[in-house]
Amino acid sequence: MDDAAVLERKGYSLSATLGEGSYGKVKSAYCNKLKCNVAVKIIDKRKTPQDFLERFLPREIAALKRLHHPSIIKTYEIFETSSGKVYIIMELGVKGDLLDYIKITGAMKEDFARLKFQQLASAIKHCHDSDLAHRDLKCENILLDKDLNVKLSDFGFSKPLSRDENGRTILSKTFCGSAAYAAPEVLQGIPCDPKISDIWSLGVILYTMVYALMPFDDSNVRKMIYIQKQHRIPFPKSKYLTTECKDLIYHLLQPDVSQRLCIDEVLKHSWLQTPKSHIPTPLSAAETGTRSYGQKHIRKLSGHSAAD
């Protein structure tokens, strides 16, 4: 039975392909029950590596079932057919991803960037409070709804955090994510707390929001790491930014992990308090309706990733 027939029996009318990756594709569909369009991620387990099936797919499904927050993409249903295909039915980011939005509209005004960054940071706080690191934060993985609200997506490289006998987070040891967004300790293969590495990625994203540029040129990764470790952040004079915004970027892109902000400190930063606006809070299970079953210019990054 083909995908359209499988989904038709579940009440979905399959439509256009939104994207294709190494291990699956994402298509749009109309949900008869919800009376709206949704995104359908389709993964054929027969065509995917064993490592992906044993580690990454279960982690992604577990994360989607576990996380309920207004700024995290909502999952409506997950099911698997006897032929070995997994279907993940999710909220549709009708305005596309953040990178495409910035490429079309240019750099965000600071007040608008503040609102979007608050939404994103609150989603990361929910992940971190749930002892989960995203590990692949980038503009392409931030979707926008019809009102341009942030919807964090793609938890394929997310990892639940383990702790040792003393309650300390067990460090991650291998590269994960896209080089342009990855923290220097990740690029160097230094054991690190993946939550702290997520914070660096937030810094790259915020910089990209307000400048429509990437902060570092990743065409030469070794040179990029050297510049990052010098804590040399280019703030173009062509655009005015408040001191508070620059200060937050500076502290997010802190190469010393012992000095980098945690997510609670990010949300308490003065730039996010002026003007004070509503920060989304986690949703209850009842609110989500989730059903669970068994370099200078902005450009698309290749997203080559490896993970532990």
Q: How many CA atoms lie within 13 A of 33 on its CB side?
A: 10
Tokens linked to 156:
């394929």
Q: Which residues contact 129 (CB under 8 A, 6 or more apart)?
A: none
- Which residues of the chain form CATH 1.10.510.10? 98-272
148 contacts 95 by C-beta, under 8 angstroms: yes
Q: How far apart are CA 197 and CA 158, in angstroms?
A: 12
CA 55 to each of CA 23, 78, 157, 164: distance values in angstroms, whole numbers, following the listed order: 13, 17, 9, 21
- For the annotated catalytic residues, the residue numbers are 136
Q: What pTM did the predictor assign?
A: 0.88
Q: How far apart are CA 111 and CA 117, in angstroms?
A: 10
Query: Cα torsion for 63, 252, 110, 96, to the nearest 10°?
Result: -30
Does domain 3-92 correspond to CATH entry 3.30.200.20? yes
Question: Is 223 a known ligand-binding residue?
Answer: no
pLDDT in tens, the chain (308 residues): 799 999 999 999 999 999 887 788 999 999 999 999 999 999 999 989 988 888 889 999 999 999 999 999 999 999 999 999 999 999 999 999 999 999 999 999 999 999 999 999 999 999 999 999 999 999 999 999 999 999 999 999 999 988 887 888 888 887 888 999 999 999 999 999 999 999 999 999 999 999 999 999 999 999 999 999 999 999 999 899 999 999 999 999 999 999 999 999 999 999 999 665 566 667 654 455 544 333 444 443 333 334 45
CATH architecture of 98-272: Orthogonal Bundle (1.10)
Quick check: helix, strand or coil at residue 207? helix
